[in-house]
Structure 1
Amino acid sequence: MHGTTETGELEKIVRDVPEVQQYFTISGDPDALIHFRVKDVDDLQRVVNAMRRTGKLAGTKTLIVMASWRREALS
């Protein structure tokens, strides 16, 4: 995020991007983690470019999930 971008501003940005599944503000560098669901790498590039064009992000770092596992939450 940009140094002056507040959490509320980021939430407004990501809510307007249908590919965003969830986002987290985190401590350290980077300041936020955004989970996208896209159909392919070209679609990912389009979404990342759209996020960059908002002018609210200082930079981006893209990681692609190759495999995943998730423990279900305890009730």
Structure 2
Amino acid sequence: MDAIDSRIIDQLRQNARAGYGDIGDVVGLSASAVKRRVDKLVAERVIRGFTVQVDPAVDGLAVEAYVELFCRGTVAPDELRRLLLAVPEVVEAGTVTGDADAIVRLRSRDIPSMEEALERVRSAPNVDHTRSAIVFSRLVDRAHE
């Protein structure tokens, strides 16, 4: 990957629907040259996909929470992944350093459904307890800008 590839990726980050000709005008290449580079970046898995970001509230998922997950004993990441995949409201999760074993992000339509989802997480065999925080407003969301 070179500096031109980086500039192409920057253009796609700003607008994944941009035409190859429009990107070429910015980076100084023809549309076909941009297409070849994008195809190569996709083949090499540098670019892993093109997507649409939709406001979760449009899909009826207006409530968001971050949950610290604390397990009994040692639980393998694969086991945590398995139990979290069983809860559809879990949209993101990762193991972390510190006291908690994992941080989980949930989305649901309302507070009662969030409580139900959280109870499904809490009742998993290896989960000792959780600590939750409901999101009131997003201050920074660079992943979706």
The normalised TM-score by structure 1 is: 0.86
Q: Runs of 4 or more off by more than 3 Å in structure 1? A: none
Structure 1: gaps (5+ residues) = none
1:19 maps onto 2:19 in alignment: no
- Matching residue's letter, 1:71: R
Residue equivalent to 1:65: 135
Instruction: Tell me which protein shows more helix as a share of its residues.
Output: 2
State the percentage of identical aligned residues.
Answer: 27
Give TM-score scaled by structure 2 length.
0.47
RMSD (Å) for aligned C-alpha atoms: 1.5
| 1:8 maps to amino acid | D
CA displacement, residues 10-68 of structure 1 (integer Å, 9 cap, x when unaligned):
00011111111010111002121000111111111111111122121111001011111
Higher strand share: 2
Question: Rg larger in 1 or in 2?
Answer: 2
- Count of matched residue pairs: 73
Q: Which amino acid aligns with 1:37?
A: R
Cα separation, partners in 2 of 1:66 and 1:3, compared to 1, 3 Å:
same
Q: Structure 2 unaligned runs (5+)? A: 1-70
